Amino acid sequence: MRIVLAGTGSAVGKTTISTGIMKALSDELNVQPFKVGPDYIDPSYHSMATNNPPRNLDSFFMDEDQIRSSFVRSLKSSNAEIGVIEGVRGLYEGISPTGDVGNTASIAKALDAPVILILNARSLVKSAAAVVLGFKSLDPDVKIEGVILNKVKGKRHYLKAKEAIEKLSNTKVIGGIPRDDDLKVKERHLGLVPALEKERIENDIKKWAEVVKENIDLDCLKNIAKSNSKIKTDTKTELWASKNKKKTKIAVAFDEVFNFYYTENFESLEDNNAKLIFFSPYKDEKLPDADALYLGGGYPEIFAKELESNESMRASINKFHKDNNPIYGECGGLLYLSKSIDDIKMCNVLPYPSKMTDKVQGLSYVIAKSNEDSLISKKGDIFRGHEFHYTKLDLKKDEINNIKFDLEIQRGRGIINNQDGISVGNTLANYLHLHACSCPNFAHNFTNNILEI
């Protein structure tokens, strides 16, 4: 079983409703959650709701065979009975105004999955039917088979809108969520509050699930999800290279501060025989015994003072770097490796300060080309990722020409002047976040470079 929950635009309550559905279904089924697009935060909610690892599907990162293979592989890995996919933005919003790359519709079509539209019904009755008709007629290959109305004023409003949609667009309305300011997700400057703020978010998810149970016909939703054809996967499709057989140990920063990782990145490393050792730069005194270090994204700028106060950890990481051990950092990891964040001391592996800004510095899908062999890629490799940050490295003009940048950014911004991937010794740090499917040699190259030291 599989189903896509797609919005008709922004501010439709898609995340709260999708997460509530995942939690409600999890009371009787093993649910594997998915999120369309480059996102770490929504999937962390999904994981809390279902107790299964978060997953992403993205047609900028993956071709159709990879989308299908990744979906099937994920369900098998979790022994899941249903895959529930939360879309990104509006159903058809992608990179271009007319194409499908990066949008939810591309995932629905690749998986031949039915779509449930989540529609903000505030002040709409007959016009709600027009919206549904428009979405259905724009691309007949997208199977829109149900509608959930959000922000309905009351029973009378719901019944009138339901009648209009079902009679005029021939589409089943499976529920209506009442207006309630409590059914909102708190936000931060980079999006939703991370689900590692656990206790409050768990209570919110339970509340969302109860609202879903009271107002959505889950039996109808499951019947729609059952109406799928079998997914046909290409047996030759490899999601990533997995050639390394010799064991390595990689320390991975994972705590309240650093938690922006794709599950597939971990799995690709493990498929290359790496043992992942999770630790906390925030709470632990020093690095665990490991051959390499992986620092993902997160919120070091928010926890900067706490990270500064852990002097022993910062010294441990600096020594690890000076001993020429491999370190790979992405976005938040880059900041933690920098000299400082707004004059608050960090690890000083990269001898440059960083700072917060009022405006977003990078918000884009990214295409990168390797200028030379690096920890994660070979010279000439072209791969894809994304960036989203309000910070920047505070580089002086006379420093830039002396910095070794390993990545040329063909789409996106990077650190500066369309360059990313600062290399210092055996450390590589960039603003680009990559997904194992978009850079299928990432884990093989990283683990192989550990072995060669």
Nearest-angstrom CA–CA distance, 92 and 127: 19
Residue 300 pLDDT exceeds 70: yes
Say if residues 257 and 299 touch (Cβ distance below 8 Å). yes
Mean local confidence (pLDDT), 46-65:
96
The answer for residues whose C-beta is within 8 angstroms of residue 227's C-beta and 6 or more apart is 114, 145
* Both tokens assigned to 95: 């990179």
* Both tokens assigned to 349: 């592996």
Residues 110-130 have pLDDT tens digits of 999 999 999 999 999 999 999
Assess whether the region 2-226 and the region 248-452 belong to the same CATH fold: yes
Nearest Cα to Cα of residue 86 among 135, 20, 26? 20
Neighbours of 443 (CB within 10 A): 28
The residue with greater pLDDT, 195 or 212, is: 212
pTM listed for this prediction: 0.93
Q: Does the annotation mark 347 as catalytic?
A: no
Which pLDDT does position 187 carry in this prediction? 53
- The whole-chain average pLDDT of the chain stands at 93
Say if residues 177 and 119 touch (Cβ distance below 8 Å). no
Mean local confidence (pLDDT), 424-429:
96
Residue 269 pLDDT exceeds 80: yes
Ranges of each domain in the chain: 2-226, 248-452
Residue 179 pLDDT exceeds 60: yes
* Amino acid occupying residue 181: D
- Give the CATH H-level superfamily of domain 2-226: P-loop containing nucleotide triphosphate hydrolases (3.40.50.300)
Say if residues 118 and 8 touch (Cβ distance below 8 Å). yes
Backbone angles phi, psi at 362, to 5 degrees: -155, 125
Nearest-angstrom CA–CA distance, 433 and 437: 12
Q: Which of 331, 347, 437, 439 is catalytic?
A: 331
Q: How confident is the model at residue 194 (pLDDT cuts 50, 70, 90)?
A: low
- Give the CATH H-level superfamily of domain 248-452: Class I glutamine amidotransferase (GATase) domain (3.40.50.880)
Alpha helices in 149-217 (DSSP H): 155-169, 198-215
